Amino acid sequence: MAEIQIYHNPRCRKSREGLQFLRDHGVEPVIIDYLKNPPTANELKALSVKLGIKPREFIRRTEAEYKALDLKPHLDEDDLLFDAMASHPKLIERPIVVNGNRAVVGRPAEAILALL
């Protein structure tokens, strides 16, 4: 089995629940504190493929940065959103759990079961 990773924000309750869910299922993941070590735009593109969703679907629209950057829907927006999330990692939905070539947003934590 591939090493499981979690893009984690220790200050976020949902992210802590996702990490605990993994541990409760006997998994000690590689923890990526994405606020301290933000993924690049290319890494976010790869995550998007693993998630099977567009960046608009895993960007946090309630963050102040989202409003300040005026990231309203555009026709050709993917690169703009990947760049915004790489520059402002608070915009990345959390937690994201990766197992090999697959990933899920762990909201709710039970969604992580699809990877185990």
Q: For 3-28, how does the pLDDT look when each residue is reduced to its tens digit (9 = 90+)?
A: 999 999 999 999 999 999 999 999 99
> What pLDDT, on a 0 to 100 scale, did the predictor assign at position 1?
55
> pLDDT digits over 67-82, tens only?
898 887 765 688 989 9
How far apart are the C-alpha atoms of 58 and 2, rounded to whole Å?
23
pLDDT tens digits, one per residue of 32-49: 999 999 999 999 999 999
Alpha carbons 49 and 55: distance in angstroms, whole number: 10
pLDDT at 71: 85
Q: Are 90 and 35 in contact (CB under 8 A)?
A: yes
67: left (phi over 0), alpha (psi -120 to 50) or beta: alpha
Is 12 labeled as catalytic in the residue annotation? yes
Q: What gap in Å lies between CA 79 and CA 95, rounded to an integer?
A: 21
Which is catalytic among the residues 12, 31, 35, 111? 12
How far apart, in whole angstroms, are the C-alpha atoms of residue 100 and residue 69?
32
pTM over 0.85: yes
Residue 91: per-residue pLDDT: 96
Residue reference for tokens 């895993």:
58
CATH class of 4-115: alpha beta
pLDDT of residue 75: 53
